[in-house]
Amino acid sequence: MLDEVFWLTETGERRNPDVRVQGGVAIFAGVVYFAVLFFPWLSGESSAISGLLNPQDQAAVAIPMILIVLSIMTVFGGVIHIAGYDLGIQLVTLMSAIAFFISVMVIVVTLFTESTKVSLLLGPWIGAASAIIGTLSSKLERKFNRSD
């Protein structure tokens, strides 16, 4: 399958060589914030709550489902960017920005909660970091000195 994607990038005119790097970083970011859903997010009285396990209310169910859609769309955007569509990197940037917002909101709400029963764990921090990487993937470009 990867050969077909790279074949698509070789057709037509000379393209920016950074497209593969941008798309690869975007795919990596999408996979990471899908994997983050299996990390512990919050620690309660008796056990840790991960992104997908032990949901306590509708928000705890909705946030992981939204992050799943965002991660799939980010990976899809990275693949179509490698395939040569400019829409792909815009899709990656938008989905990563939304994932960053969700992760930061979980962090902020948890940090400013008056309850001592809930504490923040690793999941939202890694989710926010990978969303930043996904958002910045569109800016990964090398500068070439042209002496033509």
Model confidence, pTM: 0.74
Predicted confidence (pLDDT) per residue in 21-59, tens digit: 888 889 999 999 888 888 777 666 554 555 555 556 666
* Sheet arrangement for strand 119-120: 48-50, 40-43, 119-120
Residue 18 has pLDDT above 90, yes or no: no
User: What are 81's two structure tokens?
Assistant: 């960017």
Check residue 44 and give left, alpha or beta (phi > 0: left; psi -120 to 50: alpha). beta
Residues paired with 40 in a beta bridge: 50
Q: pLDDT category, 12, cuts 50, 70, 90?
A: low
**Arithmetic mean of pLDDT, 16-25:** 83
> Rounded CA gap, 46 and 53, in Å?
14
**Arithmetic mean of pLDDT, 91-105:** 91
DSSP 8-state code for residue 90: H
Instruction: Give the pLDDT of residue 22.
Output: 86
Query: Distances from the Cα of 67 to the Cαs of 100, 102, 112, in angstroms?
Result: 10, 8, 22
> Rounded CA gap, 70 and 140, in Å?
21
Looking at per-residue pLDDT, the higher value among 120 and 90 belongs to: 90
Backbone angles phi, psi at 13, to 5 degrees: -80, 175
Predicted confidence (pLDDT) per residue in 109-140, tens digit: 777 776 666 666 788 888 889 989 988 888 88
